[in-house]
Structure 1
Amino acid sequence: MNLKSVFGEEEEAVFDSWNWNNSVCEFKGITCDDEVLVVKEIDLSHQNLCNNNNDIPFDSICELQYLEKLSLGFNRLQGSVSHHLNNCSRLTYLDLGNNLFQGPMPPISSLTRLLYLYVNNTGFSSSFPWASLETMEELVVLSLGDNPLLDQTPHFPQQILKLTNLTWLYMSNCSIQGHIPPAIGQLTRLVNFEISSNYITGQIPTQISNLLNLWQLELFDNNLTGTLPVGLRNLTNLQFFDVSMNNLQGDLSEIKFLTQLKSLQMFENHLTGEFPPEIGDFKYLVNLSLYRNHLTGTLPPHLGSYSDFNYIDVSENFLTGQIPPNMCNNNNMTELLILDNNFTGAIPPAYADCKTLSRFRVSNNMLSGVVPDGIWGLPAAEIIDIANNDLQGTIPSHMIQNAAKTLAQIYAANNRLSGQLPPEISKATSLNTIDLSHNQFSGKLPATIGDLKHLDSLHLDSNMFTGEIPASLGSCVSLSDINMANNAFSGSIPTSLGRLPTLNSLNLSSNQLRGEIPGSLSSLRLSLLDLSHNKLGGAIPESLSIQAYNGSFAGNPGLCSQKVKYFRPCSSDSSGVLVTCLSVGSAAGLFLLAYLCYIKRKSGKHEEDEAWNVKSFHVLSFMEDEIIDSIKEENLIGKGGSGQVYRVSLKNGMDLAVKHMTNTEESVWQKSNRRRRRRRSCVAEFEAEVETLSSIRHVNVVKLYCSITRQEQEQESRLLVYEYLANGSLWDRLHDPSKKKLGGLDWITRYEIAVGAAKGLEYLHHGCERAVIHRDVKSSNILLDEHLKPRIADFGLAKIGQTTTTASCTHVIAGTHGYIAPEYGYTYKVNEKSDVYSFGVVLMELVTGKKPIDEVEYGENKDIVYWVCSKLKNKESVLSLVDSSIDDAYKEETIKVLKIAITCTSSLPTLRPTMRAVVKMLEEAEPCKFISSISNKDKV
Structure 2
Amino acid sequence: MSMAYSSRQHFPSLLLICFLFLFSKIKSDELQMLLNLKTSLKNSSTTVFDSWDSNKPICEFTGITCNSDKSVKEIELSKQNLEGVLPLDSICQLQSLDKLSLGYNFLHGAITEHLNNCTKLQYLDLGNNLFTGPFPDIPSLSQLQHLYLNQSGFNGNFPWKSLQNMTGLVTLSVGDNLFNRGPFPNEVVKLTKLNWLYMTTCSFEGTIPEEIGNLIELSNLELSNNFLSGEIPSQIVKLRNLWQLELFNNSLTGKLPVGFGNLTKLEKFDASSNNLEGDLSELRFLTNLVSLQLYSNKLSGEIPAEFGEFKKLVNISLYQNQLTGPLPPKLGSWTNFDFIDVSENHLTGPIPPDMCKKGTMTRLLVLQNNLTGEIPAGYANCNTLLRFRVSKNRLSGKVPAGIWGLPKTNIIDIEMNQFEGPVTSDIGNAKALGQLFLGNNRLSGELPEEISKATSLVAIQLNDNLFSGKIPVNIGELKQLSSLHLENNMFSGSIPDSLGSCYSLSDMNMAHNSLSGEIPFTLGNLPTLNSLNLSENEISGPIPGSLSSLRLSVLDLSHNRLSGPIPQSLSIAAYNGSFTGNPGLCSRTISFFQRCYPKSGVSKEVRTLILCFAVGSMILLAALACFFHLKKREKYRDRSLKEESWDLKSFHVLTFTEDEILDAIKQENLIGKGGSGNVYRVALANGKELAVKHIWTANSTSTKKSRSTTPILGKEAGKSKEFDAEVETLSSIRHVNVVKLYCSITSEDSSLLVYEYMPNGSLWDRLHASRKMELDWQTRYEIAVGAAKGLEYLHHGCDRPIIHRDVKSSNILLDEFFKPRIADFGLAKMVRANGGKDSTQVIAGTHGYIAPGKQFILASTLVNFTYIRFDFAEYGYTYKVNEKSDVYSFGVVLMELVSGKRAIEPEFGDNKDIVDWISSKLKTKESVLSILDSEIPKAFEEEAVRVLRIAIHCTARLPAMRPTMRHVVQMLEEAEPCKLASSAIGKDGVFNKGREVRGSEKYIPDQ
Q: Shorter chain as normaliser: what TM range?
A: 0.5 to 0.7
In structure 1, what residue type is equivalent to 2:369?
A: N
Cα contact 2:508–2:533 (8 A) shared by 1 = yes
Return closer, same or farther for 1:303/1:811 CA change in 2, 3 Å cut-off: farther
2:75 to 10, 18, 42: 42
Find out whether 1:346 has 2:379 as its counterpart.
no
Q: 1:732, 1:862 → 2: CA distance?
A: 36
Q: Secondary structure at the match of 2:370?
A: coil
Find out whether 1:64 has 2:94 as its counterpart.
yes
2:604 to 568, 575, 584: 575
1:311 positional shift: 0.6
1:419 positional shift: 2.1
Find out whether 1:195 has 2:233 as its counterpart.
no
Q: 2:452, 2:824 → 1: CA distance?
A: 29
Partner of 1:363: 391
Partner of 1:4: 38
Partner of 1:146: 176
Give CA-to-partner distance per residue, 1:405-446, whole Å, 9 cap, x none. Answer: 322111111111122222222222221111111112222222
1:855 positional shift: 6.7
1:555 positional shift: 1.1
Partner of 1:275: 303
Find out whether 1:860 has 2:979 as its counterpart.
yes
- Please give the residue correspondences for 1:373-772 in structure 2 after superposition, counting only pairs within 5 Å: 373-397=401-425, 399-403=426-430, 405-572=431-598, 574-575=603-604, 729-730=767-768, 736=774, 755=846
Q: Secondary structure at the match of 1:81?
A: coil
Total equivalences in the alignment: 699
1:11 positional shift: 3.7
Q: 2:288, 2:904 → 1: CA distance?
A: 51
- Please give the residue correspondences for 1:233-312 in structure 2 after superposition, counting only pairs within 5 Å: 233-312=261-340
Partner of 2:62: 28
Cα contact 1:466–1:488 (8 A) shared by 2 = yes
Return closer, same or farther for 1:819/1:529 CA change in 2, 3 Å cut-off: farther
Cα contact 1:476–1:500 (8 A) shared by 2 = yes
Cα contact 1:145–1:173 (8 A) shared by 2 = yes
User: Percent identity between the aligned chains?
Assistant: 50
Find out whether 1:336 has 2:455 as its counterpart.
no
Q: 1:331, 1:61 → 2: CA distance?
A: 52
In structure 1, what residue type is equivalent to 2:281?
A: S
Q: 1:857, 1:799 → 2: CA distance?
A: 23
Give the greater-gyration-radius structure (CA): 2
Q: 1:266, 1:430 → 2: CA distance?
A: 33
1:736 positional shift: 3.2
Q: Secondary structure at the match of 2:276?
A: coil
Find out whether 1:83 has 2:113 as its counterpart.
yes
Cα contact 2:766–2:775 (8 A) shared by 1 = no
Return closer, same or farther for 1:74/1:303 CA change in 2, 3 Å cut-off: same
Partner of 2:896: 778
Deviates more, 1:193-202 or 1:16-25: 16-25
Give CA-to-partner distance per residue, 1:682-740, whole Å, 9 cap, x none. Answer: xxxxxxxxxxxxxxxxxxxxxxxxxxxxxxxxxxxxxxxxxxxx988428768936998
Pick 1 or 2: higher relative contact order, CA cutoff 8 A, min separation 6. 2
In structure 1, what residue type is equivalent to 2:328?
A: P
Q: Secondary structure at the match of 1:183?
A: helix
Q: Secondary structure at the match of 1:2?
A: helix
1:384 positional shift: 0.8
1:6 positional shift: 3.0
1:907 positional shift: 5.0
Q: 1:750, 1:246 → 2: CA distance?
A: 50
Partner of 2:239: 211
Q: 1:187, 1:428 → 2: CA distance?
A: 55
Find out whether 1:127 has 2:153 as its counterpart.
no
In structure 2, what residue type is equivalent to 1:436?
A: L
In structure 2, what residue type is equivalent to 1:39?
A: V
Partner of 2:50: 16
In structure 1, what residue type is equivalent to 2:190?
A: K
Return closer, same or farther for 1:823/1:395 CA change in 2, 3 Å cut-off: farther
Find out whether 1:180 has 2:208 as its counterpart.
yes
Q: 1:320, 1:835 → 2: CA distance?
A: 46
In structure 2, what residue type is equivalent to 1:338?
A: V
1:525 positional shift: 1.6
Return closer, same or farther for 1:793/1:306 CA change in 2, 3 Å cut-off: closer
1:167 positional shift: 0.9
Return closer, same or farther for 1:381/1:468 CA change in 2, 3 Å cut-off: same
Give CA-to-partner distance per residue, 1:212-265, whole Å, 9 cap, x none. Answer: 111111111111111111110111111111111111111111111111111111
Q: 1:94, 1:481 → 2: CA distance?
A: 58
Cα contact 1:735–1:851 (8 A) shared by 2 = no
Return closer, same or farther for 1:353/1:69 CA change in 2, 3 Å cut-off: same
Q: 1:3, 1:337 → 2: CA distance?
A: 52
In structure 2, what residue type is equivalent to 1:160?
A: V
Cα contact 1:418–1:440 (8 A) shared by 2 = yes
Find out whether 1:815 has 2:931 as its counterpart.
yes
1:807 positional shift: 9.5
Q: Secondary structure at the match of 1:3?
A: helix
Return closer, same or farther for 1:260/1:382 CA change in 2, 3 Å cut-off: same
Cα contact 1:270–1:294 (8 A) shared by 2 = yes
Cα contact 1:138–1:163 (8 A) shared by 2 = yes
Cα contact 1:437–1:462 (8 A) shared by 2 = yes
Partner of 1:597: none
Name stretches of at least 5 consecutive residues in structure 2 with no aligned partner.
1-34, 610-763, 777-812, 828-842, 854-870, 874-891, 933-940, 985-992
In structure 2, what residue type is equivalent to 1:301?
A: P
Give CA-to-partner distance per residue, 1:384-404, whole Å, 9 cap, x none. Answer: 11111111222222x22221x
Cα contact 1:250–1:273 (8 A) shared by 2 = yes
Name stretches of at least 5 consecutive residues in structure 1 with no aligned partner.
581-725, 768-773, 827-831, 866-903, 917-940
Cα contact 2:952–2:994 (8 A) shared by 1 = no
Q: 2:308, 2:532 → 1: CA distance?
A: 48
Q: 1:14, 1:733 → 2: CA distance?
A: 49
Q: 2:133, 2:90 → 1: CA distance?
A: 20
Deviates more, 1:476-485 or 1:904-913: 904-913
Deviates more, 1:360-369 or 1:5-14: 5-14
Partner of 1:169: 197
In structure 1, what residue type is equivalent to 2:979?
A: E
1:815 positional shift: 2.3
1:811 positional shift: 6.9
TM-score (norm 2): 0.63
Q: 2:153, 2:921 → 1: CA distance?
A: 28
Q: Secondary structure at the match of 1:425?
A: helix
Return closer, same or farther for 1:92/1:854 CA change in 2, 3 Å cut-off: closer
1:161 positional shift: 1.3
Cα contact 1:777–1:815 (8 A) shared by 2 = no
